[in-house]
Amino acid sequence: MNQYETVFITTPVLSEAQMKEAVEKFKKVITANGGEIINEENWGLRKLAYPIQKKSTGFYYLIEFKAPSKLIQTLEIEYRRDERIIRFLTVKLDKYAVEYSTKRKNKVETEETVKEG
């Protein structure tokens, strides 16, 4: 199984519950087709570099997962069918990207424990 990272942007008019519902839908697509979610991050509402569908902001969400390569096509078809998604990108991580991702994740976790303590 290969390791992938997908980032998608949802329309900014969604409520918090609708955003969570969209995320759960795509997590289900991954797990139902033999994928294993490693990490997920909600980047929140951010300004877009340029307007997309007359919107200047969007909710960003990242999911890192391991999956067979045939899952990517299924996942991207689901992105295209969902009107809440305005942009998405899925990339296969090589060994250096996996290493970097692990270091970044550990750094974020240690920063959070320092803030709590």
- Residue 32 near residue 81 (C-beta atoms within 8 A): no
Q: Which helix (H) or strand (E) holds 84?
A: none
pLDDT in tens, 15-60: 889 999 999 999 999 999 999 999 999 999 999 999 999 999 999 9
Q: Which residues pair with 41 in a beta bridge?
A: 62
pLDDT on residue 117: 63
The DSSP secondary structure of 88-111, one letter per residue, reads EEEEE--HHHHHHHHHHHHHHHHH
| pLDDT score of 107 | 79
> pLDDT tens digits, residue range 51-99?
999 999 999 999 999 999 899 999 999 999 999 999 999 999 988 888 8
CATH architecture group of domain 2-116: 2-Layer Sandwich (3.30)
Structure tokens at 11: 């329309």
Give the span between the Cα atoms of 87 and 99, in whole angstroms.
Answer: 26
Q: Between 114 and 98, whose confidence is greater?
A: 98
Residue 8 near residue 26 (C-beta atoms within 8 A): yes
Q: Which DSSP category does 35 fall into?
A: -
